[in-house]
Every structure is written in C-alpha cells, then in structure tokens.
Amino acid sequence: MRLGPFIPRRGRRLCCALLLLAVLAPPNLTFGKPQSTQKESSRQELQVLGLHSADLFPVTNLSLLSWVTLIFCPRWRHLKAVALVGPIINAITYTFVILFTFSHPDPNVVSDITSLEGIVSLFRNSDAVFAGWLHYCVFDPLIGLGEVLDSRQTGVPHLFVVPCLLLTMFLGPMGFLLYLAARGLTMYVKDDGYTIQ
C-alpha cells in the first residue's frame, strides 16, 4: 500500500526529517524548554517540540475518526484512507514518545516487562501511560478496519459487525472474539444454503 495519498511529498520529507532528528538526537537534547534538574535521579518529563504528554494527549482523539468511519461508512471508497489517518498520526506520536523515553530513562522505574510488578512500576510514569494509550489508539482501530474489510469479503452483514466494532473500540480482544464468532456463524449459515440479509 502506498502512503502517497495520506502524506503529501513535502509532508513525507518533514516526517522523515523529524523522525531522523529524534533517532539521532543525543540523550540530553530536548525539543522544548530546558528542564530544571533538581536532583540527578529526578525524572525528565517528555517534551516533543515543546509539548508534554498532557499537551499531546488530544492527538489520540483522531482514532475516533476511524471508528465513526468504520461504523457509519463501511462501503465508502475512501474508507481505508480515512480510517488510517488516526492510526498513522498516533503511530508517529508514539514513536516520538518511545524514542524520548528510551533516551531519557526514569531512574526510579524498573523496566522489567517479564513480571507484573515490573509492568505496574513502568506504568506509574505518566509518559509510559501515554505511550500505552497511543499503542491502544493505533492497534484497536486497525483491528476494527480488518473486521470491516473482512466482513465485506466474507459477506458478514454490517449489522452484525457494528456491535463487534463497539466492543473492539472499548474492550479490544473481546470485540475481536465477537467478530470471529459472527464471522463463523455467517460462514456456517452460508454453507448450509441459507442467506442472511
């Protein structure tokens, strides 16, 4: 799939330049006002282009555009393009947040993702919670898009897909399982020669 329709040529260059800057930036470089360091062990707050996590949080609302499009316009010819806007922008924001977090680790957090205690410790940091929310706002709409596209191919009525999308939006894995059940039921009924209108 080409990204040309989503990001104009100039925009692609700017996105690549910003991503490259974030990757190659030395750990002590911040993209905003310098932080006052009280102690050597104090955590440095996220700053991307001068914005903190709380300032960037409204960007996550772009995922609502995906959900509205998936629920109300499932056969629209621009469905894929519009439904991908939120996940793409949230993925770019996520990348900046993760790169900042890796280059400015919180000395008070034990980064152990192999235990529940380590995960709880990690998510005591507001920047880590923001990154987790961005992760959710990228992948759940993509699962919803997959449900809609698959339902169009397999003939699952959209009326059956809407509850799956709503559940996927709020409780991701449960919505995905509900869609698999609706898909299986539809395929079973089709195999028996019945038609669902």
pLDDT digit of tens for each residue in the chain (197 aa)?
444 554 455 455 555 554 444 444 443 334 444 444 444 445 677 777 777 788 888 889 999 999 999 999 999 999 999 999 999 999 999 998 888 888 877 777 666 778 888 788 778 888 888 999 999 999 999 999 999 999 999 999 999 999 999 999 999 999 999 999 999 999 988 876 655 55
Rounded distance between C-alpha atoms, residue 55 and residue 65, angstroms: 20
DSSP label at 25? Answer: S
Rounded distance between C-alpha atoms, residue 128 and residue 146, angstroms: 27
CA triple 69-70-75, angle to 5 deg: 90
Q: Which two tokens stand for residue 126?
A: 């507001």
37 CB-contact burial (10 Å; exposed 0-12 / middle 13-18 / buried 19+):
exposed
Q: Which two tokens stand for residue 195?
A: 């038609």
0.75 cut: is pTM over it? no
Q: What is the pLDDT of residue 190?
A: 82
Q: Is the CB of residue 100 less than 8 Å from the CB of residue 21?
A: no
Q: Is the CB of residue 153 less than 8 Å from the CB of residue 80?
A: no
For residue 82, the number of C-alpha atoms closer than 13 Å in the C-beta half-sphere is 16
Q: Where are the domains of the chain?
A: 47-152
Rounded distance between C-alpha atoms, residue 185 and residue 123, angstroms: 39
The answer for residues whose C-beta is within 8 angstroms of residue 6's C-beta and 6 or more apart is 81, 84, 85, 88
Q: What is the pLDDT of residue 24?
A: 45
